[in-house]
Every structure is written in structure tokens, then in C-alpha cells.
Chains A and B, each alone.
Chain A
Amino acid sequence: MAAPTDSQLVARCRVGDDAAWAELVERFGRYVYAIVVQGFRLREHDAEDVFQDVFARAYVSLPSLRDDAAVRPWLAQLTRRCCIDRLRRERHEEPVEELADTAGEDELARLDEAFAVREALAALGEPCAGLLDRFFCRDESYHTIAEALDLPLGTIASRISRCLAKLRESFEGRSPASTASGKTVTR
């Protein structure tokens, strides 16, 4: 069965579907995490609080989201606001404008691109999605991957290479998406 669209997921969350909420967190958790940790470079403890705060605010505000399909840019803006709030509390002396610039537009655009690639990866299905995720995102060794996926160790490198080529081919065929940074991801 195909994964629900963002709109479908939001609609289900809105009527109190806990499983849909769990899926929404799973789908966007990496993106929120990356903005907090890479975009704003918050320390671990602050990052965890902000991560939870973003989803707590999202849960409460989801019913007022105007465009269900725009949940990702909405979450990105929410994350930025939460990060800036946190930094503002810590750095009383710095002007708000400087805090807003803490996460550069280029960095946020890069994360938008990364999310688009991740969507293409999910669409590839298994075994490529799991293989590339383990190697590139989870930094697992060939040995760990071979054991986890029950594959011959000597074939891991070539499988990764083939899957990456497949991802490139798939990514080429996708249409542009709206982004949190306001820029269009050109594909």
C-alpha cells in the first residue's frame, strides 16, 4: 500500500488518529532535527527540548493549518521560531535579526534538497531504501549492513552503487517541490 500523502496524514491527525501522528513524527523528525542541530547548531540538551517543543506546538496548532499539503514548510517555520526563541532566551544581548540569521538560508535550502532526496529514496522501496539509509544516514559499516540484511559482505559496495544510480534515475523524474526556505529545489 502506498504511503499516505502529507495531506492525508494531516487530515488523519486532525481527527485524533494517534497512529497518523506517529507517522507524521517519523516522516518529518529528521527534517526538524536537522534544522535544529545543523541549521541552528543547538547543543544536545537544548536541541532535544526544541525538538519536543516543535512537535508539541505542531500537535496543538495542526487544526489551524490552512494548507495540509504545506505541512513541511509550516513545520520548518515553526522549528525556526522555536530555535530563535531558545537562542533569544540564552543570548539576551544579541539583536533578534542576528539570531534569525543564525541558520543561513543556504543551509535551510540544502536541507530542503536533502528532504526531496529522502522522499525519492522512500519511493525507491526496499532493498535500496534501507541499504542507502543504513550506509549514508546511519553510518553503518558494510559488515553491519551485511549482517542486518543477510547479504554477502562482498556485494554491499556494488549494491550501494547500483542503488545510488537507481536513486539518481528516480530523482531525475520527480517534479519540483515547494520548500521551507522559499527556494525551489531544481531537479
Chain B
Amino acid sequence: MTGYDEERLAELLRALPPPPAAWVQAAQELPRARRELGGIVARAEADAAYRAAVLADLEGALADAGLEPHAPAVEELRRRLSP
């Protein structure tokens, strides 16, 4: 190994700081989030009034289900509720 003295190793260690814990947690909860999302979609398919309410406030619907209303989740919900 050449060029990997301890100073270089330290520099490379510094190159990968942890992402914010909340970001990691949200990504880790994706499987559960997708299940919750599936629940919202299923209910919306059976209940027109609920569907209209969800479409009017996608972020609120996600938050009500205990999900972080990240843009990708909002887009996913919008896509799945599109006719």
C-alpha cells in the first residue's frame, strides 16, 4: 500500500461523516412507510370523500399516518392516487 499514511487515512475517515440521524431513520422506516402508504391508497380507493381529502392535502395525509412528508413520499402517494 502506498500513499496511505496515517494522515491520509484520517482525511479519508473525515470524508464520510454520518448523515443527520432523522434522515437515516426515515430511510430505515421505508418498508413500514410503504405499508402505510398502501393502506392510505386502499382506503382512498374505497372512499371517494377520503380520496378527495387526501389529494387536497397529501402531506397532511402522510403526517396523519405517522409518516415524514418527504417529497419522494408525497410524489409516490400522488402517483398511486392518479387515475
With A16-B31, A29-B24, A59-B31: A51-B19 Cβ-Cβ less than 8 Å = yes
Interface SS of chain B: helix, strand, loop or mixed?
A: helix
* CA gap between A161 and B10 in the complex, in Å: 10
Q: A52-B70, A121-B13, A136-B14 are in contact. Are A30 and B4 (CB under 8 A)?
A: no
8 Å CB contact of A33 from B19, B28, B31: B19
Q: Give residues 43-71 of B contacting A (CB, 8 Å).
A: 68, 70-71
A118 to B12, CA, bound (A): 8
State the Cβ distance, A61 to closest chain B Cβ, in Å. Answer: 13
**Cβ contact within 8 Å between A30 and B9:** no
Which residues of B9-31 have CB atoms within 8 Å of chain A's CB atoms? Answer: 9-10, 12-20, 23-24, 26-28, 30-31
* Assembled-state Cα–Cα distance A117/B32 (Å): 32
What CA separation (Å) do A29 and B16 show in the bound complex? 9
Knowing A53-B71, A114-B15 touch, does A136 contact B10 (C-beta < 8 A)?
A: yes
Nearest-neighbour CB distance to chain B for A151, whole angstroms, equals 19
Q: Report whether A139 and B13 are in contact in the complex, using a CB–CB cutoff of 8 Å.
A: no
Known contacts A18-B31, A25-B24, A114-B12; is A52 also within 8 Å of B18 by CB? no
The residues of B that contact A133 with a CB separation of less than 8 Å are: 13
B50 nearest CB across to chain A (Å): 24
| Cβ–Cβ contact B28 & A137, under 8 A | no
Taking a contact as CB atoms under 8 Å apart, the answer to whether B28 and A25 are in contact is: yes
> How many angstroms from the CA of A60 to the CA of B10 in the assembled complex?
36
- Give the docked Cα–Cα distance between A30 and B17 (Å): 6
> What's the nearest-Cβ distance from chain B to residue A157, in Å?
13
Which A residue's beta carbon lies closest to that of B28? A22
Q: List 17 A-B contacts (CB under 8 A).
A: A22-B28, A25-B24, A29-B24, A34-B15, A52-B23, A52-B68, A52-B71, A53-B72, A56-B30, A111-B16, A115-B16, A133-B13, A136-B14, A164-B6, A164-B9, A165-B6, A167-B9
User: What 3 A-B pairs are tightest by C-beta distance, nearest first?
Assistant: A33-B19, A114-B15, A136-B13
